[in-house]
Amino acid sequence: MIRALHRWPGLLALALVTILSLSGAALSVFPAAERLAAPQAEAGLTVAALADRIQAVYPGVEQIRRSPSGRITAYWFDQGAPGAAVIDPVTGEGVASADPNQAERWLTNLHRSLFLGDGGRIAMAAGAAAMLILSLSGAALVARRAGGWRHWFARLRGPLAGRLHVEIARIAVVGLVLSSTTALWMTASTFDLLPDGGAISAAPTEVSGETGSALDQIPTLQQTPVAELRELSFPYSGDATDVFTLKTDRGTGYLDQGNGALLAWADLTGWERVSETIYMLHTGQGAATLGLVLGLMALGVPAMGATGVLVWLVGRRGRPRIRGNQSAGHAETVLLVGSEGGSTWGFAATLHAALTQAGQSVHVGPMSGFAPERYAAAQRIILLAATYGDGAAPASAKGFLDRLNASDRAPDISLAVLGFGDRSFPAYCAFARDVAAAAHAKGWPELLPLDTIDRQSPQDFARWGRALGDALGIELELSHRPVQPQTTTLTLVSRRDYGAEVQAPTAILHFALPRVALRQRLLGSGFARFQAGDLIGIVPEGGTVPRLYSLASGRRDGFIEIVVKKHPGGLCSGQLTALEPGDTVSAFLRPNPGFRPGRSRAPLILIGAGTGIGPLAGFVRGNTRGRPVHLFFGMRHPESDFFYGEEFPGWQDEGRLTRLVTAVSRGARPHYVQDALRGEATQVAELIRNGARVMVCGGRDMAACVAEALAEILAPAGLTPAVLKVEGRYVEDVY
Amino acid sequence: MKSLLATLALTTALTLPGLAAARPVTLTTTLNNYGGDGAYLALYVTDSSGAYVGSLWMAGGKSKYYEHLSDWYRATGGDTAQVNGITGASVGAGRTLEITLDLADALFDAGYTLHIDAAVEDMRDSPNEVAVPLTTDGAGTPVQGRRYIASFAYDM
């Protein structure tokens, strides 16, 4: 619901809010420029003295105005010709033109009415209302995603567009709420919807009838400092019944031109004060610094618009049409999807297609639409559940758990739960686990035990599909291709071979950087931008499902490098390790922002074994700033599979690598990387206590052993890997 | 000449006791290129003693800005009822406002004065921009305003 409230006003009002924010940001500069340019009155200067100075220079002065920036403007008539100038209060002389700035005027009219009069004002007010709705719904989404308002500034993970969107939003939202609320108030005020008009004080009827009181002798003007002045209007020359009109920050008064007496005074009303404060907050006139800050925040709007559209497009593209979807009442298999961004729907579509082809009748729907009483023909229910944020239900699964928990008993239809998530998150598949636990507690019969899919892995999905097929007694081959990105042809330049002697033939493959199209460069897509730790996907010839490999190089290195071990019978690894220089493969890039060393200067502890050394070696190679890096590397035998063994001494000399600790598993005393960690327990604990970041890359079993070893090492310090994960200081890339 | 061609025929709110005859009068106000947003103009009549008699036209729809038409505002106390039904859009720089009203014969050659107050956002207020006596002889004679009005004339 909140998401819809964010998405649709956002897309509809995109153009309006973009114009509003860009023009607003441009306008925010003017009050500050005026403040800097305007000659300021000396402290303690009274209106009487100022008016006297100005009148000495311009005897025909009619009006003196002071803007909130302190700029003083005088208007006069000299021999029938009107004149006006910005006044230097020290001399009373004109120093600059008082004509309105044409650029500012143009921008103001664009900003408030699109040059379209009242219709335009209403359109722009609608834009401001959209901005307010977007800000509030967006703030609710950020809070939900972060797991509560207290975690407003929690570390972000996920694709760049989404992160940028939230990163900008959580800073700019304050300004945008302020700007849009004040804009709505000002529009209401302009259309007379608020009782904030000035109190009308009747023009004084009793005047002395004399003229010619010296300005510097009028007590009220003597008591009013220039800092409070807004406007002083002079009586018409030759009209003895006319009066001085004085407007200050406090109110409006009339002064007798003969004896200088204060004839009438009206204070500003409460409504007027509120409206003026709001005007100041919105325009920055009288609060130039705030204005600049708001202007800067407004600049975030076009960026959020662009990233927001990207997030929406990616989510939409990832959500395919389900062809031949059966009704819930007739389907044998009911497939319910809990998806936040839409990618889980893609898996549902693949499963739906495969089951349908196997002769099943299948219904696909959101988990939020869970209604067991309607599943009259259902023999099984399959839940595909992603997780949102810190373990919350994703958008399309809202209310599922409440409904299940509220029911007397679970439906008598067997259930399989498949969780989708990312192992680098601490709450990996937490929602799916909650659902499975609740189902178990309700005694829901189990078709398959809970299984999980890490980072949309097609391999994981295919494996689970075979298990499902076995349970159903059908042949089920799920070949899911998430969103097949456009591939680029990579040419192998050189290869280095290792590991043949220890029955683990492995190659470091070195590809040339492909040519990048201008469009990709602009969008930062394809191979235009990548870092060590990002993934490249390779679709093997004769295969449909891409395999992912971690990059051991970044764009700046000028080449693409991966470490590939030949798996017995492995299609993709077999083809890759058979490549000779000059051969080509088709590959695409998948950013892996959750596995990056970051720009901090805190020490890095890199832990890897086997081919997991690839991205870690890439981080070391890219460490040109001398950040302390401690690398723990597990191998089988230093004579055979010591990847990058030739480079490490050089990197150490150059200060890219502080320390290398190796563990050798083949030999008289097998030694694994977790053992190496334990051997350095004191130093590792010390480093982590001092803010070091831990990055682990390698097989799943190794990662589990490393986590166990770290838990032991950190226990005396009262830390756990889980805590570090939450802080974003412990990240894994496992396979 | 650029013309807004706001040619309107309507009954004036200016009702005076004992008026029998009236005639259509065309008021033509042309603004100079003062380089600002649209001007608010208040056209009203005072009697020989300078007392406010009634309003003929208000160019500008937002009553919150009327206080800048300061003479009119003080004379009427900002009473928008004075310009009910005789309010139009503000007039852009260089544009012409042309209005035709039925004015009472008794207003002419009897010491009445037609005033125009003008105001432009972020520029000087110009009360009493134009003040012309209403006389039969004066009809058709253009006068210049003080700041914003290039020419004003009333034709019968």
- B138 in A contact zone (CB under 8 Å): no
* Per-domain boundaries in chain B: 39-155
**Which DSSP helix (H) or strand (E) runs through A609?**
strand A604-609
Q: b/e per residue, A672-698, with b = 16+ CB within 10 A?
A: bbbbbbeebeeebbebbeeebbbbbbb
- Is B63's CB within 8 Å of A202's CB? no
Question: Nearest C-alpha of chain B: how many angstroms from A76?
Answer: 10
CB A442 within 8 A of CB A381: no
Q: Which fold has domain A319-472?
A: Rossmann fold (3.40.50)
Asked if the C-beta of A486 comes within 8 angstroms of chain B's C-beta atoms, the answer is no
Element (H, E) at A253: strand A251-256
Whether the domain at A488-590 and the domain at A604-734 fall into the same CATH topology: no
Cβ-nearest to B77 among A192, A202, A245? A202
With beta carbons under 8 A apart, name residues in chain A contacting B61. 118
Sequence-ordered list of residues with C-beta below 8 angstroms from that of A502, at least 6 positions apart, any chain:
A636, A637, A640, A641, A666
Question: Which amino acid would we find at residue A75?
Answer: Y
* Residues B61, A62: C-beta atoms closer than 8 Å: no
Q: What is the pLDDT of residues A36-91, one digit of tens each?
A: 988 888 888 999 999 999 999 999 898 999 998 899 999 998 877 888 999 999 99
- As a whole number of angstroms, the distance between CA A307 and CA B156 comes to 64
Q: CA B79, CA A381: separation in Å to the nearest integer?
A: 73
CB B30 within 8 Å of CB B96: yes
Chain A: residue nearest B38 by CA? A117
Give the nearest partner residue to B37 out of A105, A200, A203, using CB atoms.
A105
Q: Which residue type does A215 have?
A: L
* Residue length of chain A: 735
Cβ-proximal residues to B122 (8 Å cutoff; 6+ apart), any chain = A100, A105, B36, B37
Cβ–Cβ below 8 Å for B35 and A102? yes
CB contact at 8 A, A245 and A230 = no
More confident of the two residues A605 and B17: A605
Is residue B127 a contact partner of residue B75, using CB atoms and an 8 Å limit? no
Predicted confidence (pLDDT) per residue in A130-146, tens digit: 999 999 999 988 887 66
User: Which of helix, strand or coil describes residue A7?
Assistant: helix
Q: What is the pLDDT of residues A239-248, one digit of tens each?
A: 777 889 899 9
Gap between the terminal Cα atoms of chain B: 21
Q: Does B133 lie at the interface with A, CB-CB under 8 angstroms?
A: no
Find the helix packing angle between A458-472 and A343-357, rounded to 10°: 40
Q: Is A265 helix (H, G, I), strand (E, B) or coil?
A: strand
Residue A339 CA to residue A578 CA, distance in Å, equals 40
> Which CATH code fits A604-734?
3.40.50.80
Question: Chain B: residue nearest A82 by CA?
Answer: B147
Contact indicator for A416, A382 with CB cutoff of 8 Å: yes
The residue written with tokens 């499963």 in the block is: A351
Amino acid residing at B22: A
| Chain-chain contact of B78 with A200 (C-beta, under 8 angstroms) | yes
Amino acid type, A310: L
A105 touches chain B (CB under 8 A): yes
Question: Is residue A6 over pLDDT 50?
Answer: yes
Q: Is the pLDDT of residue A110 over 80?
A: yes
Q: Which two tokens stand for residue A265?
A: 């005074």
In angstroms, how far is CA B156 from the centroid of its own chain?
Answer: 16
Q: Is A629 left (phi over 0), alpha (psi -120 to 50) or beta?
A: beta
* Helix spans in A318-457 (H): 343-357, 400-406, 430-441
Question: ipTM higher than 0.90?
Answer: no
Q: How close, in Å, is residue A267 to chain B by CA atoms?
A: 16
Question: HEC states along A75-122?
Answer: EEEECCEEEEEEEECCCCEEEECCCCCHHHHHHHHHHHHCCCHHHHHH
The region of weakest confidence among A238-242, A546-550, B10-14, B49-53 is B10-14
Residue A410 binned pLDDT confidence (cut-offs 50, 70, 90): confident
User: What three-state secondary structure class fits A503?
Assistant: coil
Top-level class of domain A488-590: mainly beta
CB pairs < 8 Å spanning A and B: 49
Token look-up 């000087």 returns B124
Give tens-digit pLDDT for A633-654: 999 998 888 999 999 999 999 9
Interface contact A102, partner B, CB < 8 A: yes
Which sequence spans correspond to the domains of chain A?
A: 2-31+104-196+286-312, 40-89+199-268, 319-472, 488-590, 604-734
